[in-house]
Structure 1
Amino acid sequence: MERKPKRRTPERILDTALKLFNTYGEPGVTTTAIADEMNISPGNLYYHYRCKDKIVEALFAAYRAEIEHTLAAPEQRPVHAEDAWLFLHLIFEAIHKYRFIYRDINEITSRYRVLGAQFKRILAHKRRTAAAILTGLVKAGELRASPQDVEALAVNMTVIATYWLSYELARNPHNDEDAQEEKEESRALARGAFHVISLAAPYLAPRERELFDDLSKRYLN
């Protein structure tokens, strides 16, 4: 069997930092803690990333590339009601992967001004994508909503998707190191996807509403 190539040190630093940030929150993790977790010297870490800011910026760049790619998908072809679950699943997967950003969103965007400006553009892209999907469903006869309804729904969906993880964490604080808690966090993200799409449920045409009711039961279970 062909052996996988060893990961380069910069990649290992980012992987380790992401794990620690997600577990303890970005503000509570130092570069020394990252180096200790990797069993390397702080000097070795600083050779690749001269400060924690650069690690955060690199992780945010990876997150931005992933989320922007996902948000651009509905532009490739019209999205139908049954596609919405998959699309939301992909969005929440990215949120889960880089959840430290969403847990400390106000802290990070205020301390890292450049990232704050970039996150503002991501929020705008989320809202535009949601509005485009909803408008497409209206044109396909799968959603019965006015332009004003569509705009309000797009904003509300963006707000819930962005702050759902913060809500769940405040409601039920836990430690990611526990496997059971990791499983619960996956359920929390599933609930987030459900509540995002449930905003549009009252506007769905009968067939699509029936599909929503069926899928939501299986999705939450």
Structure 2
Amino acid sequence: MQHKAPRRTRERILELSLRLFNEFGEPNITTTVIAEELNISPGNLYYHFRNKDDIVNSLFAQFEAEISRMLAVPADRRPNMHDVWMYLHLSFELVWRYRFFYRDLSDLLSRNRKLELHFKQILAHKTKVAQQLCLGLRDDQALVATDMEIDGLANNIVVVATYWLSYEYVRNPRQYTEQEVMADALARGCYQVLSLIGPYLRGETREVFEKLTAENLKKLR
């Protein structure tokens, strides 16, 4: 039991910090607030984390591990439109779970060199996966685009997916933490990314695209 208690306190600190950062923004939350919310002393918190940046870096390590597991194309077959759809939804769900990174991105990167370097790697990885998905569709003659167009498309996909929640926050800052409102925002984000791909699709894949986007739009309130 003596070995488990410190780990449990550390987990509670991370869980609460993530919730507070997501709800109120990382710049507005201090280690004092976190300690008070957990009903522990500041010294107990500092036993597990040296400062707030240490908490942020630990949360980012969790995020990085999750996104690394998610960012993969099928190894045994060519990707299809359903793979693209699933990739987008999982991406947006993960962004939502760690949304403070995206909402406060510029501020965080400007003062955290480690975060800056690792986030660049994540963006590069996302772009590579988007390229691989598009190339796979092209190899299957489901997408018609040049290499240059695919490069541009992959970058646009990553830009929209990365900054979509910031855009939604500007549109509805007072409703940003409401789950139902943001479920619609995430669905709109998926549609916006798919709309970038749509003009390049052909044949059956185009039909699947139209069906998926129609179903997605019906769910919006």
TM-score (structure 1 length as normaliser): 0.92
1:108-151 Cα shifts (integer Å, max 9, x gaps): 11111111011011111111110011001000111111111101
Q: How far, CA to CA, are the matches of 1:175 and 1:40 in structure 2?
A: 31
Q: How far, CA to CA, are the matches of 1:212 and 1:176 in structure 2?
A: 29
Q: How far, CA to CA, are the matches of 2:114 and 2:74 in structure 1?
A: 27
RMSD: 1.5
Aligned to 2:73, the other structure's residue is in SS state: helix
Question: Which amino acid is 2:46 matched to?
Answer: Y
Kindly indicate whether the alpha-carbon contact (under 8 Å) linking 2:110 and 2:116 is maintained by their aligned counterparts in 1: yes
* Higher mean C-alpha displacement, 23-32 vs 200-209: 200-209
Kindly indicate whether the alpha-carbon contact (under 8 Å) linking 2:169 and 2:176 is maintained by their aligned counterparts in 1: no
Alignment of structure 1 residues 42-81 onto 2, 5 Å: 42-71=42-71, 73-74=72-73, 76-77=75-76, 78-81=78-81
Of residues 206, 211, 216, the one that matches 1:214 is: 211
Equivalent residue number for residue 21 of structure 1: 21
Q: CA offset at residue 174 of structure 1?
A: 2.1
Alignment of structure 1 residues 1-221 onto 2, 5 Å: 8-71=8-71, 73-74=72-73, 76-77=75-76, 78-175=78-175, 181-220=178-217, 221=219
Kindly indicate whether the alpha-carbon contact (under 8 Å) linking 1:88 and 1:193 is maintained by their aligned counterparts in 2: yes
Q: Could you list the runs of 5+ residues in structure 2 that have no partner in the other structure? A: none
Kindly indicate whether the alpha-carbon contact (under 8 Å) linking 1:23 and 1:175 is maintained by their aligned counterparts in 2: no
Q: How far, CA to CA, are the matches of 1:90 and 1:215 in structure 2?
A: 15
Q: How far, CA to CA, are the matches of 2:124 and 2:198 in structure 1?
A: 23
Question: Which amino acid is 1:206 matched to?
Answer: G
TM-score (structure 2 length as normaliser): 0.92
Q: Could you list the runs of 5+ residues in structure 1 that have no partner in the other structure? A: none
Corresponding pairs, count: 213
Q: How far, CA to CA, are the matches of 1:75 and 1:206 in structure 2?
A: 21
* Higher mean C-alpha displacement, 125-134 vs 210-219: 210-219
Q: CA offset at residue 165 of structure 1?
A: 0.5
Q: How far, CA to CA, are the matches of 2:36 and 2:216 in structure 1?
A: 40
Q: How far, CA to CA, are the matches of 1:213 and 1:159 in structure 2?
A: 23
Q: Percent identity?
A: 49
The structure-2 alpha-carbon separation of the partners of 1:176 and 1:156, relative to structure 1 and needing over 3 Å to count, comes to: closer
Segments of 4+ in structure 1 off by > 6 A?
none
